[in-house]
Amino acid sequence: MSDSPFSIELKVRDYECDMQGIVNNAIYQHYLEHARHEFLASRGLSFAELTKQGVIIVVARAEIDYRAPLHAGEECRISVAASRPSPVRLVFSQKILRAADGKLMVSAEIITTAVNERRKPYFPKALQQLLDEE
């Protein structure tokens, strides 16, 4: 895994906030997923194209630690690093930092696998390039 993982920046939109004026907890999963898709794209992989080719990537588990809330208008940086802890698992380690001061807002481990046409887990060669460039 690289010391400086892939990252993107986003700005919190008003409609993503709940009545308390903070980002709704479910929205963070959207942020994390968007960053993972951009990570794939940065490695020459299209999530949609992989799906068309029969490479179905599924989330098996999401471990999310909410540390501090983001508010409307704040900018954040979402990082993504990939690892392969087992023959069929691909883990995305992710962080959401507030851009203004680098404060950790969310940390997450998203455990995924790919499933074949029989719905059995496997690790397709196409995903290897996510690890080769780390």
Residues annotated as catalytic (active site), given as ranges: 18
39: three-class secondary structure by DSSP: helix
Q: Are 60 and 89 in contact (CB under 8 A)?
A: yes
Q: Are 4 and 77 in contact (CB under 8 A)?
A: no
Which residue do the tokens 């001061």 mark? Answer: 101
Considering only CA atoms, give the Rg of the chain.
15
Q: Are 40 and 130 in contact (CB under 8 A)?
A: yes
